[in-house]
Structure 1
């Protein structure tokens, strides 16, 4: 069913950060952060969550004025967030963003070029479809955890931790994460 421009605009003005925080309250964010940290001990990749209530008006305007399909707009937003979070800055180009846009019930997985060399579009789409099912049933934490587990399995297969057990130790020389583990909720 096609959504009218007016309904879409109202929905994006209605959803905000409080909706994102309702879906990912502090205790869920803390558990997701711990799960990301545990995941990253098993591989050299970097995984981030970004949960957003609605698109900024500039993105909506492009959809409404220029008739850019909303799916394309959501993908462009996810790629922009990937860039803003500096996910492309990982040593092995193996960052993965799990992006959730509540106003559109949209999920995007954005992976850096190092990961995309090993994982096809069909595999990413299957992951998104499984996450979509959990989210449609309002099982946000379960769905995000499942997505993390699936992304982690891909990263463990193609970017396993070093023999020393430190996944993220070269680089940076400090042996710490290259990127924060906490989900971004906006």
Structure 2
């Protein structure tokens, strides 16, 4: 059963945050939400979802997935090989801390919106937007399980 913990307005604000972040970077951002994490480690589940969504197919291998299991209160951020090859190991720590601060208060939509914005700024350093060559390679909508 697919569940959506967001109001239509919250969902639209998250999609808008993805679109806004992608105006500054060639990086591709997706959000996947499900009630329960089917693995003990949310990072492993996020890696599985990343593959299921075909996110590894971007030209620069610069896809980023925000994964949220809202009932289990677990989340992860994973990036593709192109990002991992260019950034330090703690690249996502500040974004994870920002998400955690909102999620711990039950503010999932606001946390995702803020985290996506911060990720866009961070990605811009390594994958700047080029209007002449950039195309939207991945859907901006939220996927649900």
Cα distance change of structure 1 residues 155 and 161 upon mapping to structure 2, 3 Å threshold = same
Give RMSD over aligned pairs. Answer: 1.8
Summarize the alignment of residues 4-153 of structure 1 with structure 2, pairs less than 5 Å apart. Answer: 17-18=2-3, 21-22=4-5, 24-56=6-38, 59=39, 70-71=40-41, 74-153=42-121
- Give the 3-state SS of the residue equivalent to 2:92 in structure 1: helix
**Larger deviation, residues 79-88 vs 120-129:** 120-129
Instruction: From the two aligned structures, give the one with the greater strand fraction.
Output: 2
Unmatched runs of 5 consecutive residues or more in structure 1: 1-15, 60-69, 170-176
> Larger relative CO (CA 8 A, sep 6+): 1 or 2?
2
Cα distance in 1 between the residues matched to 2:69 and 2:52: 16
After superposition, what is the alpha-carbon deviation per residue over 1:5-47, rounded to whole angstroms, capped at 9, x for unaligned? xxxxxxxxxxx643xx13x222211221122112212211100
Q: Which has the larger radius of gyration?
A: 1
In the alignment, is residue 159 of structure 1 matched against residue 127 of structure 2?
yes
- Give the 3-state SS of the residue equivalent to 2:26 in structure 1: coil
Cα distance change of structure 1 residues 55 and 17 upon mapping to structure 2, 3 Å threshold = same
Instruction: From the two aligned structures, give the one with the greater helix fraction.
Output: 1
- Give the 3-state SS of the residue equivalent to 1:47 in structure 2: strand
Cα distance in 1 between the residues matched to 2:80 and 2:62: 5
Cα distance in 1 between the residues matched to 2:79 and 2:57: 12
- Give the 3-state SS of the residue equivalent to 1:130 in structure 2: helix
When normalised by structure 1's length, the TM-score is 0.71
Q: Partner of 2:143 in structure 1?
A: 184
Shift of 1:166: 5.0
Q: Partner of 1:168 in structure 2?
A: 134
